[in-house]
Amino acid sequence: LAASVSAADLRKASNVVAVRFTPGEHGLMWDEDRRVTSSVLQGWMRGVRAGWTVIAVSGVKVQTDEELAELLEKAASGAGRYELLLEKGQGSFGTEAKERQDKEKRNRVRLKKFFSFQCGIDRVEHRGMTCEQLDRVLDYAWRYSEMWYDSAPAKHSKTSGQPLNMDILNLHHLNAWIIMPATRPRKCSMVEMLCQKPQPPDWFISHWWGD
């Protein structure tokens, strides 16, 4: 589709569909070409599928994923309904969804082999972690992070939907791919997967989640 045509002209194309959304979570993730990589919640219920490309938000054409993120966040946080124009792509939703499910399943299997429950530590202040134990977590990330993707919504992450690597990896990614899946079965802390007794720390280091 030519970039010079208007949003009204785009609407006339046979492979373009208009989808109406209500304010709130839209459930869409996309890549740098504005191609939908995941559709859940409203997106899925309203028929949007992976492989489609977003070309306009509320009558405004978008050329970059940054423009799309900005316009869609503004529309989703507004008071009224809004419309997306999407160019239909190949029906690859099932394939992409299965690939992602397979990646997550393989990761859970690897985690069980790499980290196993060691001991329960009742007192939170005794859940210190040594540098060697942190290195085990990082070692896992070094080995497998290039098999992961950023699962965060586009409004929360600039790399949403993109493949990950150690150059862009942050604590949100580690939480999604290591900490949560490793600790969820036992509902424990990560350090309880790494040590065999309580570990009162010598130092406390805090952090900010706004990476």
Could you report the per-residue pLDDT of 46-55, keeping only the tens digit for each?
888 888 999 9
Residue 8 confidence (pLDDT):
61
- Using the predicted structure, report yes or no on whether residue 95 has a pLDDT greater than 70: no
Cα–Cα dist 41/74, whole Å: 18
Q: 157: pLDDT confidence band, cut at 50, 70 and 90?
A: confident
- Using the predicted structure, report yes or no on whether residue 135 has a pLDDT greater than 90: yes
Q: 107: pLDDT confidence band, cut at 50, 70 and 90?
A: very high
Q: 158: pLDDT confidence band, cut at 50, 70 and 90?
A: confident
SS (H, E, C) the chain: CCCCCCHHHHHCCCCEEEEEECCCCCCEEECCCCEEEEECHHHHHCCCCCCCEEEEECCEECCCHHHHHHHHHHHHCCCCCEEEEEECCCCCHHHHHHHHHHHHHHHHHHHHHHCCCCCCCCCHHHECCCHHHHHHHHHHHHHHHHHCECCCCCCCCCCCCCECCCCCCCHHHHHHHHHHHHHCCCCCCHHHHCCCCCECCCCCCCCCCCC
Min mean pLDDT across 114-118, 155-159, 160-164 is at 155-159
Residue 2 confidence (pLDDT):
37
The string over 175-187, giving b where at least 16 C-beta atoms fall within 10 Å of a residue's C-beta and e elsewhere, is ebbbbebbbeeee
Average confidence score pLDDT of the chain: 86
Could you report the per-residue pLDDT of 23-76, keeping only the tens digit for each?
999 989 888 889 888 888 888 888 888 889 999 999 999 999 889 999 999 999
Q: Are 35 and 51 in contact (CB under 8 A)?
A: yes
Q: 192: pLDDT confidence band, cut at 50, 70 and 90?
A: very high
Residue 211 confidence (pLDDT):
52
Q: 184: pLDDT confidence band, cut at 50, 70 and 90?
A: very high
